[in-house]
């Protein structure tokens, strides 16, 4: 849905439109990128002992895109990144299917891995995408634990896109040499 000069792609996918993982991996691939970190969240089959049938997502799409772009910009300001891609599905997502996918490329793996984790944590904490868990015997709207923690951190009024500044841990040379 959005791309900028820094090679960032953000897409909120309409109902019944599965995430094409290879599309986003190809988007962030580059000869100068020595690492591509990915995260994909899938619908699991149980939660708290209840059988999950599917998850259903709704969003305020223009604000969700704006928030994700802000999160990506914040990640770029903290890590040396080449390309980023974030995709989130709306509507029903059956068990085993991907609802959110993030791909981040960088020259070095530490930057890609840390930025990828930051992006998913921030997406869950601050982007206006809502999740309903549908069970075999009922359904319930869910708040992400990251959102609840953010609300406690900033007070009750958590506005849209309250992106937390990333905590960057610069690894020493010894840490960068492990495989």
109 labeled binding residue: yes
Q: Torsion over CA of 70, 21, 36 and 44, rounded to 10 degrees?
A: 80
Q: Is 82 annotated as a binding residue?
A: no
For the cut 70, the answer to whether the pLDDT of residue 56 exceeds it is: yes
Reported as a pLDDT band with limits 50, 70 and 90, residue 2 is very low
Q: Would you state the pLDDT for residue 3?
A: 44
CA separation for the pair 123, 10 (Å, rounded): 12
Q: Return the pLDDT at 154.
A: 56
Q: Annotated binding residue at 7?
A: no
Give CATH for domain 8-141.
3.90.1170.40
* Model pLDDT for residues 116-127, shown as the tens digit of each residue: 999 999 999 999
* Residue 16 assigned to a binding site: no
Q: Is 132 marked as binding a ligand?
A: yes
pTM attached to this predicted model:
0.82
Ligand-binding site membership of 133 (annotated): yes
């Amino acid at each position: 849905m959005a791309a900028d000069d820094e090679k960032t792609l953000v897409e909120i996918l309409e109902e019944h439109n599965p995430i094409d993982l290879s599309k986003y991996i190809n988007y962030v691939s580059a000869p100068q990128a020595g690492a591509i970190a990915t995260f994909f969240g899938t619908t699991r089959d149980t939660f708290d002992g209840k059988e999950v049938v599917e998850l259903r997502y709704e969003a305020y799409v223009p604000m969700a895109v704006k928030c994700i772009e802000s999160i990506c910009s914040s990640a770029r300001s903290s890590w040396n990144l080449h390309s980023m891609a974030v995709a989130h599905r709306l509507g029903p997502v059956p068990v085993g299917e991907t609802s959110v996918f993030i791909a981040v490329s960088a020259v070095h793996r530490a930057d890609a891995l840390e930025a990828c984790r930051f992006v998913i944590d921030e997406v869950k904490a601050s982007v206006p995408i809502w999740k309903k868990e549908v069970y075999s015997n009922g359904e319930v709207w869910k708040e992400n634990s990251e959102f609840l923690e953010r609300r406690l951190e900033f007070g009750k009024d958590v506005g849209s896109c309250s992106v937390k500044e990333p905590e960057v841990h610069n690894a020493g040379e010894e840490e960068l040499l492990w495989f």
